[in-house]
Amino acid sequence: MRKIVFINQATGYLTIDIINAFAKEFDMVALITGSIRVQDDTLESDVEVSKIVKYNRGSHINKVLSWLWGTVQIYFLLLFKYRDYEKVFFTIPPTAYLLPITRRLPFSIIIYDLYPEALKINGLDERSLIYKWWIKRNIKILPKAHKVYTLSDHMKEGLLYYAPKIKIEVISNWSAFSEYYPIAKAENKLLIREGLQDKFIIQYSGNIGATHNVEAIIELAEYFKENDSIVFQIIGRGIRTEIIADMIKSKKLKNCLLLPFRPDEELYESLCAADLAIVTLDDKTADVSVPSKTYNLMAAGVPVMAIASINSALAKKIADYKIGTTFEKDNYSGMSDFILNLFDNPDELKTLCDNSYKASKFFSKANAGRYLSAYLNN
């Protein structure tokens, strides 16, 4: 009897799709998680779920504490309840795959963010003992993995320091809405409800944390404060939400709206409300993190303006599929010119919208099956 357990402290549609693919081949499938967020398909009914502490998206301290406590709980579950299971670790919590558990059965790692490199944005110094220890631990563990999955060739390059090329599989993320069709603005219930159907909407939807550079969006909104037709939406939550609210208030930006996360049932319609979406990426982690929201924006047929390194994996994807443009974080004149050009040229905007939706077809739920195929065809 073949048994496998997946470990992800914050389970979303990507994890669910992958687990469901494996459930077709394995006799017993389990999940260790702190939370499950369903946006499309639910978990197969026979998947056993063991709950641990939820991933805390608050302050750095609370986040790390949730990681560490979750890792302790995972350790004992793997030691006793799932000792004879094959294991697949996601990098939430990023400390779980470092556990000194028995390696008698195969284990694999799905790396959405490369650690410890991703922690540099939180101030972890490369010269610190923790950073150096983590590097050594990666060098010891990753070559022993059955498979190491990651999201882009950029991230693969970083992983080659730790694991042989033959172990690494590059599989892009996909959208929770890959089978949807974009909602026209004239039919968008959210725009009608909020009286914005005639506005040019520039939208940021995501976390408002210390590393997300949402301040850049406030600066952009200030460029357009005299233009009544352009509205900026910042939709999300995080430790800097109050600071962003104060900035909007102090600058008297009537064209900038700070909104809470939409309910899941309104998320796709909310994305479709945008004429242009902003995705931010800290340049310290350009090669170790890829925002999954990009694929949902593609499925909504929305162009993307990235505020990120022009050498990042995100910038390459945007350029390859011709769905927008990437700007370095201080290039406000370039960003504002790009926005005005799309505002003044609806045909050019439509081309980017069409490109974005077409690109989404390359990032469908079929990618979940590639995880299983790679796992079985080692």
One of 1.10.600.10, 3.40.190.10, 2.60.40.10, 3.40.50.2000 is the CATH number of 3-173+364-376, namely 3.40.50.2000
What was the pLDDT predicted at 41?
85
What pLDDT is attached to residue 128?
Answer: 87
Q: d(Cα 160, Cα 158) in Å, to the nearest integer? A: 6
Residue 29 has pLDDT above 80, yes or no: yes
* pLDDT tens-digit map of 93-114: 999 999 877 667 899 999 998 8
Q: What is the pLDDT of residue 100?
A: 75
Can you tell me the mean pLDDT for 278-284?
Answer: 80
pLDDT digits (tens, 9 = 90+) for 216-269: 999 999 999 999 999 999 999 888 899 999 999 999 999 999 999 999 899 999
pLDDT of residue 184: 94
Nearest CA-CA partner of 38 in 63, 57, 58, 10: 10
Cα 210 from Cα 137, distance rounded (Å): 28
Please tell me the distance from the alpha carbon of residue 31 to that of residue 16, in angstroms, as a whole number: 10
Confidence band for 290, pLDDT divided at 50, 70 and 90: low
Amino acid residing at 363: F
Q: How confident is the model at residue 85 (pLDDT cuts 50, 70, 90)?
A: very high
Average per-residue pLDDT for the chain: 92
Of the ranges 1-10, 257-266, 287-296, which one carries the lowest mean pLDDT score? 287-296
Q: Where in the chain is the domain with CATH 3.40.50.2000?
A: 3-173+364-376, 185-360
Residue 194 CA to residue 269 CA, distance in Å, equals 13
Sign of CA dihedral 285, 352, 277, 36: negative
DSSP H/E element including 315: helix 313-320
Asked if pLDDT for residue 328 goes beyond 90, the answer is: yes
Query: Is the distance from CB of 244 to CB of 215 less than 8 angstroms?
Result: yes
pLDDT at residue 137 above 70? yes
d(CA 274, CA 201): 5
Mean pLDDT score, 199-228: 90
Q: How confident is the model at residue 289 (pLDDT cuts 50, 70, 90)?
A: low
pLDDT at 32 over 90: yes
- Looking at residue 296, what is its pLDDT? 95
What are phi and psi for residue 63, nearest 5 degrees? -65, -50
Q: Output the pLDDT for position 211.
A: 66
Q: 294 — phi, psi (to 5°)?
A: -55, -40
Q: Look at residue 163 in the predicted model and tell me its pLDDT.
A: 93
For the ranges 4-8, 37-41, 71-75, 92-96, which has the lowest average pLDDT?
37-41
* Paired tokens of 252: 């008297």
Q: What is the reported pLDDT for 40?
A: 75
Mean pLDDT of 165-183: 93
Q: What is the pLDDT of residue 127?
A: 83
**Residue 288: pLDDT band by 50, 70, 90 thresholds?**
low
Share of the chain above pLDDT 70, in %: 96
Answer yes or no: CATH 3.40.50.2000 is held by domain 185-360: yes
What is the C-alpha separation between 168 and 374, in angstroms, rounded?
10
Residue-wise pLDDT for 331-346, tens only, equals: 999 999 999 999 999 9
